[in-house]
Amino acid sequence: MNILQALLLGILQGVTEFAPVSSSGHLVLVPWLLRWPQPDLVFDTTLHLGTLAAVLVFFARDIVALLRAWWESVRERRLTTPESRIAWALIIGTIPAGVLGFLLEGFFASLFEVPFWVSIFLLITGVILAASERLSAQQRSLETVTRADALAIGLAQAAAIAPGISRSGATIGAGLALGLARRQAARFSFLLSLPIILAAGAFKLLALVQEGIGGGTAPLLLVGFVAAAVSGYLCIRFLLSFLQRGRLYVFALYCWTLGILSLLILAFRAG
């Protein structure tokens, strides 16, 4: 891997982690389509830490407020503020992905080696985005999210462990289908990503410690980290603005185009 590839993959990770088009799917398909080497564990972990930094910086005030509200709810044993309800909703929403990822880690890891299934899941992501847009009522604020809502959005996030199913697409789509306004659904989706990205980074760091850190040079890792962090931050900012009026159909069309193109190239190379 060279500096240019590290830069482009970092930008790709930062943008697609939050845009509803599947970061995992892109990190499988793009190197495969361009015949680049697949990113090793060191570089992949670095990119995830970059997107983690983007969420932490962008939502720093929200995170502090939610943590304080959660702690107060624990001390008082009741939900007294909208922030405390949102905090507990985020915890509930994180559980399905954590359980499914733990139980089926090997199965989902095997899907990363098969571009065919990644392409199929991208097509499914397009269907999810288009369907959620049609079902959207856009009437509710984030403070109205119930435990059942949080669990439903969490189940959508769990399905996105499969490469090609967009995590943000599934969770924003679920939020829209449940009646949340676009910006509110996106905000909940991005905050919900924090524990998952943090957990994924922690597991990968543990794997690095067990296997021994190697396979990447400092300049490549630095470029990838900065590119993922900056592009991720800008993508969050753009999407929160775009979704106030924009529609998810454009992302659905993109997923269908990339999925079909990948299947055609796969068939061509097989022939």
Write the pLDDT tens digit of every residue in 206-236: 766 666 555 557 888 899 999 999 999 999 9
Q: How confident is the model at residue 128 (pLDDT cuts 50, 70, 90)?
A: very high
Rounded CA separation 28/85 (Å):
37
Q: What is the pLDDT of residue 271?
A: 63
Rounded CA separation 227/230 (Å):
5
Rounded CA separation 89/100 (Å):
18
Rounded CA separation 141/71 (Å):
23
Q: How many helices (H) and strands (E) does the chain have?
A: 12, 0
Q: How confident is the model at residue 161 (pLDDT cuts 50, 70, 90)?
A: confident
Rounded CA separation 182/16 (Å):
18
Average pLDDT over residues 47-52: 90
Average pLDDT over residues 137-154: 87
Residue ranges per structural domain of the chain: 24-270
Q: Which residue has the higher pLDDT, 120 or 270?
A: 120
Q: What is the pLDDT of residue 255?
A: 95
Q: What is the pLDDT of residue 28?
A: 85
Rounded CA separation 47/39 (Å):
10
> Which residues on adjacent β-strands are paired with residue 180?
140
Average pLDDT over residues 84-88: 92
Percentage of the chain surpassing pLDDT 70? 92
For the beta carbon of residue 57, count every other beta carbon within 10 angstroms: 13
179: left (phi over 0), alpha (psi -120 to 50) or beta: left
Rounded CA separation 21/224 (Å):
20
Instruction: Give the number of C-alpha atoms closer than 13 A to the C-alpha of residue 126, restricted to the C-beta side.
Output: 16
Lowest average pLDDT, out of 15-24, 162-171, 191-200, goes to 191-200
User: What are the pLDDT digits (tens) for 12-38?
Assistant: 999 998 999 988 888 888 888 888 887
Average pLDDT over residues 93-98: 89
Q: Are the C-beta atoms of residues 267 and 115 closer than 8 Å to each other?
A: no
pTM: 0.85
Does 195 score more than 60 pLDDT?
yes
Q: What is the pLDDT of residue 40?
A: 75
Rounded CA separation 74/38 (Å):
44
Q: What is the pLDDT of residue 270?
A: 77
Does 171 score more than 90 pLDDT?
yes
Mean confidence (pLDDT) of the chain: 87
- Token duo for residue 109: 């890891």
Q: What is the pLDDT of residue 215?
A: 52
Rounded CA separation 74/229 (Å):
33
DSSP string, 146-188: -HHHHHHHHHHHHHTTSTTS-HHHHHHHHHHHTTB-HHHHHHH
Q: Are the C-beta atoms of residues 174 and 192 closer than 8 Å to each other?
A: no
> Which residues on adjacent β-strands are paired with residue 140?
180
Rounded CA separation 74/120 (Å):
43
Q: How confident is the model at residue 112 (pLDDT cuts 50, 70, 90)?
A: low
Q: What is the pLDDT of residue 208?
A: 64
Lowest average pLDDT, out of 79-83, 104-108, 132-136, 256-260, goes to 104-108
Q: Which residue has the higher pLDDT, 44 or 213?
A: 44
Does 76 score more than 80 pLDDT?
yes
